[in-house]
Structure 1
Amino acid sequence: MLKLGDDESHMRSSQNVDDDADVVGFEEDVKMLLRKRIIGGLETRRIVLVKGMSGIGKTTLAREIYNHPTVVERFKRRLWVSNVTHFTIKELLIKLIQQVEDPHPSSSLENMDNQSLRDMLRQHLLGTRYLIVLDDVPKPMYLHSFLRALPREYDGSRLLLTSHTRNMNIDNIDVHHMKPLDSKKSWQLFLKTINHGNKLTGEHKFPMKLEHMGKQMLRKCGGLPLAIKEVGKQLAEKKVSGESEWEQLLESVDFGSTLKLLEPFYHKLDPELESCFLYMSFFKENTTLRAKKLAHIWIAGGVVDSTHRFKSYLNDLVNDSFIEVMDKSTEYRMNVVLHMLSIQKAEEKLGFEILRSNGNNRPSESPRHHRVIICSRDKFNYSTDQDKLLVSLFFHGGGYLDTSPSYWKSFELLKILDLEDFGLKILPETIGTLMELRYLGLRNNYIKELPDSFGCLENLEVLDIAQNFLVEVPDIIWEMRSLHHLYLSDVICRKPSKIDALQLLVTLTYVSVDNWTYELSDLKMLTRLRKLGIEELDGSSDVSKLFVSLALLENLEHLILRGYRFRSMPCLDEIGVLHNLQTLKLDGLLARLPNNVPPNIKSLTLVNSCLDEDPMPLLEKLPELKYLKLRNAYTGQQMVILPEGFPSLEVLCIEELWNLRNVQYELGAMCFLEKLEIHDCPCLDTLSDVVERMFWVKEIKMVTTKSIATKARNSDSIYDLTNREYQFMS
């Protein structure tokens, strides 16, 4: 007789009204998981991981799978253990054994050693098809030890794990990434929660006239079911009558209870990652952040000490579901609810404060070391008596910036100043008094001129003035010997640049091809330069001189060449002399690809090339190429990829190839491809035929027309392939 353990009994009895509300938005996840990974697929034992941040619905999804009629019918044994993070391997084995054996004295089980418990569990499972769900698996898990307790027969059994992390160190694990709910599903869950909690009708019911306002409020939930339910329950508990009262409630929703529920998730952070998480509070909510900017600010703030350490910590935050990857590991975003939590914790631990022009401030009770100023176009006084203690200062919003000499002289310890996207027009001369400044972010403003006082910023390591159209740069900038990263674009130099004087430069983007090739005599001194962007290339550019000079940069790994407006770029055949180059981006019209692409290229991006000839015959011969992106790079209708083409390629992104109708793919090509992305190729309707043959590709993402997306979704041949993640969006 099958005995239900405490966990399973709790699960069966927990199918109440609230759980019914939980399942909104997970229908496609349930369908896909059942078809691809639980019911369908190979008869081997498969380990499936449902991954996502706390509160995103991992347990709810696992419960829907566990209780699904087809699962009940297929699996003779179904075992469930909740809160695995709190159990030792011995406690976990005992919990499972208690679910498959007649009443057994727990004391006798506790007296057994782990190997005996493993043998007992294996005997109970032997010869039966089973589904085991381990809910909330921690990071330092003992899975290898646990797996030895499971039979090895190829009977189609499944082990389903839910966790915030994918660092399981297990081979052949299928990962299902949980995504936040979109606005439509968020609204459905919100209404369902309110209607279940509030049984009143008529004037007491939520007025649909306030739907827009309600959806605006829900944006602060970030598509997180936990947050949506908490907000819905909070409103349902109120005895509300009339639109005006509902409107007042929507304006005053408190997210404190939601943040409290996320506290355990925060405490799962490794100690060395906590500061990285807290520093996310400095940025605007729901904003997309460049990896380079994050790295510069974490390094300038002393959170990490090197780019290598930054990459390691960032990957950990991604793997542990604290940060979401947006684009090719170069752009990231934090869920808005987690962002609120980072602000709360930064206020407690960092001496962080937020000042607003509307007076709704969040001053810190501890000494202020970090400040965010959120202001409108109106002038207001954001100076305090603790300016001398500030280490970092961020401006959000836009408008007025205090240019009085006395103001900037008070920031004696300031290391980080970020004014990106602020709408700034004039920089004060007194900016040069910030002697300790390490990072200055001025990207995407309306600045026309940098003051000569920049020369006083002797410790400045990062200067970002990109996307300020035709900004005049003083000569003194070429004497700022501490600069490591300099981001320019469309700048006006009073005299020819003296770039070779900046011997600590690691990054320089972008500099005019004319400025680069004008009397630069000591390029060999730029021994640290890794990334370089050259712009304004056209048919008259002396690329022979350019490539001869670039060949002197022995550590140059990343090169970007950008054409001048709508003019064609020159012939780039001589680029082949750059043997150490690993990343290349060509942005501009090309008559043809260079015949001699550097042989060690690992990443290649072609943007706005508008090539007439298929680029694949040349590119597929690059032996080290791992990443290839083509955006508006080819105007033809067909691409051909031959056998053994792209022997090392892992990621292929195709975007805005408006005429492309067919990709002719031959078996034996792209054997290591892991990810395929296709965006805005409206004539390409043969995807099903291509990816059916590329059965090893793990992730497919396609943004196309509604008809093509529907055809792809309905393709049985695609969805029957396992270990693969799909996104088809119209």
Structure 2
Amino acid sequence: MAEAAVNFLIGKLTNFLDNEVQFFGDAEDEVRSARGQLEGISASLRVADSLEESDEEVREWVKQLREIAYVTEDALDEFKLLSAHDHGVGFAGLFCRISCCVKNTKARYRTISQIQNINSRIKSLCDGHQRLRHKFSKAEHGPGSNYSDNTWHEHRGNAFFLDKNELVGIEEQKQQLVAWLVEGTSGPQVISVVGMGGLGKTTLVNEVDQDPEVKKHFRVCAWINFSGSPNIGELLQDIHQQIVRVIKQPIPCGADTMNIYWLTMLIKDLLRGVRYLVVLDGTWRIDEWDAVKHALPNNMCGSRIIITTRNYDLAHTSSREFKGKVYKMEPLPVGQSWRLFCTKTFQGSSCPSHLEETCEFILKKCEGLPLAIVAIGGVLATKDKHRMDEWELVRHSLDTEIDCNDRLKNLKRVLSLSFDDLPYYLKSCFLYLSLFPEGCPIKRKRLIRLWIAEGFVEKKEGKTHEEVDEDYFMELLNRNLIEVAARRTYGAVKYCRIHDFLRDIVTSKSTNQGFAEIAKEEKFEQPDKVRRLSLQKTLRALQQNWSLSQLRSLYMFGMERPFMNKVLASDMKLLNVLDILAAPLKRFPAQVADWCHLRYLSFRGTEVSTVPTSIVKLKNLETLDLKHTNVTELPVDIWKLQRLRHLLVYPYKLMPYLSFKVGFKALQGIGALQSLQKLCYIEADDANNCSVMREFGMLTQLDRLAILKVKKEDGRDLCSSISKLTRLRAISIASVDEDEIIDLQHLSSPPPFLERMYLEGSLGALPKWLPSLSSLMRLHLRYSRLKDDPFVSLENLPNLVHLELRQVYEGSSLCFKAKGFKKLNILGLDLFDKLRCIEVEKGAMPFLQKLAIRRCKLLENLPSGVENLTKLKVLKIFDMPDKLVKKLVQGAQDDDYHKVAHIPEIRCGYQRDEGWDIQLIDRSVQRDGATTQGTSMGSNEFPPCGSECTT
């Protein structure tokens, strides 16, 4: 991680020279010298980081370099802190300025002295770099060009860790891959096997490669092992040697000295008329694939290429090029995991009953990862089955065992390969995941905002920081380092997570490399210095002299009030991020306003109810998250926070069906916050509405906007503003009450990229521009009370995936026309008071999977043509007439019962005083003569068809 720290510091030194050097010009030469020397060694840092674990000398050099980077950053930020204070006006302000002038003069000389001292230390380290240069060169250009010794050569051997009789759940996968190899077109095809490290990709492909049918089908079979950064010339030499051994041709004179071009031509010539199978095992990057593919001829002989990779982008790109297939490896299901575990741990015998609970806990942590199951099974196989203490010790120390147990080193190495291959900016982003509690899904948008606040994001021409960070997130996802925990109904990732063992490795690296400290146990050892701190459990004791003066990020999860207050009373003047989630915090801590470097401030889910005017001193603040607090007003001078990008303020007061009724009162001057990208939820019910509505048009960077308590007379100004918000992706507008009209007819040019829209209030008629929203994926309409059938305007929206309608239409019938709603996946109909019949024509909603009909009191029959919805998986009927519900009960003598026979899950429910009484009718079970009935949901919230409705 020295690479990340040093590159971050180089950027900071550059910024300092551009903007701050006038305050201490005497040190300009020293600063430039320091930057120049760091830039000189930055090229070697990635190699140094990879050698850190295996070479003591390099490890010490990297540690010192990292410490110098941190010390330099602290010196620069402490100086900026003194020059950032607002001194006020009048005599008191003059006195303050004189006092600060003296302090700043002293601080300037102190900073100059620190920079000079740091520069001297950097020079010393650069001398050390000269001594280590031979190691870096050897690691970078040695065998396989991999950064760590012998990793390339060990990669294949370590993959085949299972004996033949230990393979579990592989036969079906093997048959599928064999069929893809020997069947299909005569042109060459790429079959990509993709998944995270440790799933057994290489084990599976090796079984396929050795299959007699495959051996018989292909004239030439070659297996090439890749590493994190392979030497392409050596790989091509390896392919050539394997080919000539099979076809029994002499190796041409001088082949061992040929360059890449001639080797490529030679291999292509040898394979020109041959049906070949080439396995490229452990391929990481697209450029590696590009370097090899040109040597493999398009010979129309039915040749095949198998790629095993952890990178989804590579898997799909290579398969598209050769019209191939992608096989995604998944973790083992519970049953197969248990079989494999018992095979390795108890040599195929069953687990003793007294060890079942312990083994189930350990197996759960493995999460279906075969490599982890086998590695830990091997450790447990050496334990005495009658010594419960030995087994419990493994159970409680799994996170440390992976670091110190020799039998688990292979597991750590294989899982660490993905991390080691990351560019430095992604390493910082990935290590950041260690700050979140184990088992806690991480919200994608929150994570991205935090990465930005930490300064991990590099500027890219034409992209916002958020867009660059979205790319970072997707790259980690495509590399199988993080996985999706939940998606929104329109497909975007909502929550992510990380495999438990990968988390243990990342947490260990994070601590060892001085990146962060995670305190979740009473025995937590408090380090002398800490830059990022995650408090995940109430700690009863805190060292009196523990300094947090260098702390940059603080997270609190599950803290009790006394301990939380004690931590917040510490000197944390360099803090960039303060994130306190769902803690018993009642007051906005006054000292926070003095932490001028704060860029991210979140009191989400706390009991804070007021925000002091002193918050406007936080000139660097980019995110203010007061979601689910009791705050309903902000200081009138909030517009002074010119760098605010995300303003999230609304209390946790949700009306039924997730309608937001309370936000924060609109302020004049809000148009000055021209960096804002997300503004939720702002109440427009004020005498100055017209002025505020016009100011929204000044917020041209907005991609999400939520406005409450809108009146009819606001329509023209609101439409004028919305037409200027060309970056808008999501908008939520709620009228002051259900009967108030939202007048949006004046909008001539709606935002071109609008994806989500939520309108709550009377409309009179659907906006004429709504059918033109070609990017719209999710639409919620409530209390529209339309006279005309809304589907005429909505059915041709090309990308609409989720549609929720509540009290939208006052007609008696609805018709879903053929070829309408081509991509709709989720549909909810609620409170259609006069609706008596629904018709679904054949070909309508061809991809509908979830349908919910609620509180339509006159609808006594299921939709006519519901049998045409062949993809429907879930049907929800809530608070509907008994006549309709009875038709769904087993044995009902009605055509409706047979029309829905193809739907796997049907739920019926009625609202009770204590919540919703839900009856589950599982059609797949019912065919065998059984009906499963659920119990009360225990909530007064109306069950939505899809996920939560927020912008």
Structure 1 match to 2:7: none
Query: How far apart, in 2, do the equivalents of 1:492 and 1:123 lie?
Result: 71
Give unpaired runs (5+ residues) of structure 1.
1-6, 671-675, 692-701, 712-730
User: Which of 793, 802, 823 is 1:618 aligned to?
Assistant: 793
SS of aligned partner of 1:91: helix
Given the superposition, is the C-alpha separation of residues 495 and 66 from structure 1 closer, same or farther in structure 2, using an over 3 Å criterion? closer
User: Which of 826, 845, 861 is 1:654 aligned to?
Assistant: 826
Query: How far apart, in 2, do the equivalents of 1:467 and 1:100 lie?
Result: 68
1:359 and 2:544 aligned: no
Structure 1 match to 2:8: none
1:559 and 2:730 aligned: yes
Query: How far apart, in 1, do the equivalents of 2:157 and 2:751 lie?
Result: 61
Query: How far apart, in 2, do the equivalents of 1:185 and 1:471 lie?
Result: 53
Structure 1 match to 2:306: 160
SS of aligned partner of 2:770: coil
Is the 1:577–1:598 contact (alpha carbons within 8 Å) kept by the matching residues of 2? no
Is the 1:96–1:121 contact (alpha carbons within 8 Å) kept by the matching residues of 2? no
Query: How far apart, in 2, do the equivalents of 1:227 and 1:663 lie?
Result: 52
Is the 2:750–2:769 contact (alpha carbons within 8 Å) kept by the matching residues of 1? no
**One-letter code aligned to 2:692:** L
Is the 2:712–2:743 contact (alpha carbons within 8 Å) kept by the matching residues of 1? no
Give the CA deviation at 1:47: 1.0
Given the superposition, is the C-alpha separation of residues 355 and 118 from structure 1 closer, same or farther in structure 2, using an over 3 Å criterion? closer
User: Which of 612, 624, 629 is 2:802 aligned to?
Assistant: 629
Structure 1 match to 2:702: 530
Query: How far apart, in 2, do the equivalents of 1:12 and 1:460 lie?
Result: 51
SS of aligned partner of 1:488: strand
**One-letter code aligned to 1:337:** F
Given the superposition, is the C-alpha separation of residues 495 and 528 from structure 1 closer, same or farther in structure 2, using an over 3 Å criterion? closer
Query: How far apart, in 1, do the equivalents of 2:562 and 2:612 lie?
Result: 15
1:642 and 2:809 aligned: no
Given the superposition, is the C-alpha separation of residues 164 and 686 from structure 1 closer, same or farther in structure 2, using an over 3 Å criterion? farther
Superposition pairs of residues 89-488 of structure 1, within 5 angstroms: 89-98=235-244, 100-102=246-248, 104=250, 109-111=255-257, 114=260, 117-118=263-264, 121-122=267-268, 125-126=271-272, 129-168=275-314, 170=318, 171=321, 172-196=323-347, 206-253=351-398, 254-256=401-403, 257=408, 258-305=411-458, 306-325=465-484, 326-327=486-487, 328-331=491-494, 332-356=496-520, 358-361=521-524, 363-364=526-527, 367-376=529-538, 380-381=541-542, 385-400=546-561, 402=563, 404=565, 407-408=568-569, 410-422=571-583, 424-468=585-629, 473-488=634-649
Is the 2:187–2:302 contact (alpha carbons within 8 Å) kept by the matching residues of 1? yes
**One-letter code aligned to 1:65:** V
Is the 2:282–2:307 contact (alpha carbons within 8 Å) kept by the matching residues of 1? yes
Give the CA deviation at 1:589: 6.3
Q: TM-score, normalised by structure 1?
A: 0.77
Given the superposition, is the C-alpha separation of residues 242 and 379 from structure 1 closer, same or farther in structure 2, using an over 3 Å criterion? closer
Query: How far apart, in 2, do the equivalents of 1:323 and 1:239 lie?
Result: 36
Query: How far apart, in 2, do the equivalents of 1:260 and 1:111 lie?
Result: 33
Give the CA deviation at 1:439: 0.1
**One-letter code aligned to 2:304:** R
**One-letter code aligned to 2:427:** E
Query: How far apart, in 1, do the equivalents of 2:206 and 2:540 lie?
Result: 54
Give the CA deviation at 1:304: 0.9
Given the superposition, is the C-alpha separation of residues 498 and 514 from structure 1 closer, same or farther in structure 2, using an over 3 Å criterion? farther
Give unpaired runs (5+ residues) of structure 2.
1-151, 459-464, 652-661, 831-836, 854-861, 874-902, 907-921, 928-951
Query: How far apart, in 2, do the equivalents of 1:191 and 1:530 lie?
Result: 55
Give the CA deviation at 1:503: 3.5
Given the superposition, is the C-alpha separation of residues 616 and 345 from structure 1 closer, same or farther in structure 2, using an over 3 Å criterion? farther
SS of aligned partner of 2:446: helix
Give the CA deviation at 1:135: 0.8
Deviations 1:401-443 (A, max 9, x none): 6565894350010010111344644443333232221101222
Q: TM-score, normalised by structure 2?
A: 0.61
Given the superposition, is the C-alpha separation of residues 511 and 584 from structure 1 closer, same or farther in structure 2, using an over 3 Å criterion? farther
SS of aligned partner of 1:419: strand
Structure 2 match to 1:517: 689
Deviations 1:176-220 (A, max 9, x none): 333333444433332232133xx8x7xxx7433443443333333
SS of aligned partner of 1:110: helix
Rg bigger for which structure?
2
Aligned residues: 667
Given the superposition, is the C-alpha separation of residues 664 and 657 from structure 1 closer, same or farther in structure 2, using an over 3 Å criterion? farther
Deviations 1:298-342 (A, max 9, x none): 121111142343233223222222233443344333333222222
Structure 2 match to 1:602: 775
Give the CA deviation at 1:572: 6.0
Structure with more relative contact order (C-alpha pairs < 8 Å, separation 6 or more): 1
Give the CA deviation at 1:398: 4.1
SS of aligned partner of 1:79: strand
Give the CA deviation at 1:472: 5.2
Query: How far apart, in 2, do the equivalents of 1:439 and 1:126 lie?
Result: 60
1:24 and 2:198 aligned: no
Give the CA deviation at 1:241: 1.4
Query: How far apart, in 2, do the equivalents of 1:188 and 1:298 lie?
Result: 41
Given the superposition, is the C-alpha separation of residues 397 and 688 from structure 1 closer, same or farther in structure 2, using an over 3 Å criterion? same
Query: How far apart, in 1, do the equivalents of 2:681 and 2:905 lie?
Result: 33
Give the CA deviation at 1:354: 1.7
Q: Which has the higher helix share?
A: 2
Query: How far apart, in 2, do the equivalents of 1:287 and 1:315 lie?
Result: 20
Give the CA deviation at 1:60: 2.2
User: Which of 168, 176, 189 is 1:46 aligned to?
Assistant: 189
Is the 1:576–1:597 contact (alpha carbons within 8 Å) kept by the matching residues of 2? no
Given the superposition, is the C-alpha separation of residues 52 and 15 from structure 1 closer, same or farther in structure 2, using an over 3 Å criterion? closer
Deviations 1:611-631 (A, max 9, x none): 999866534545xx5564335
SS of aligned partner of 1:237: coil
Given the superposition, is the C-alpha separation of residues 20 and 296 from structure 1 closer, same or farther in structure 2, using an over 3 Å criterion? same
Deviations 1:654-677 (A, max 9, x none): 3668999968448xx99xxxxx78
Superposition pairs of residues 73-88 of structure 1, within 5 angstroms: 74-75=217-218, 77-83=220-226, 86-88=230-232
SS of aligned partner of 1:176: strand
Structure 1 match to 2:721: 550
SS of aligned partner of 1:574: coil
User: Which of 51, 58, 81 is 2:201 aligned to?
Assistant: 58
Give the CA deviation at 1:511: 1.6
Query: How far apart, in 2, do the equivalents of 1:287 and 1:464 lie?
Result: 19
Is the 1:79–1:133 contact (alpha carbons within 8 Å) kept by the matching residues of 2? yes
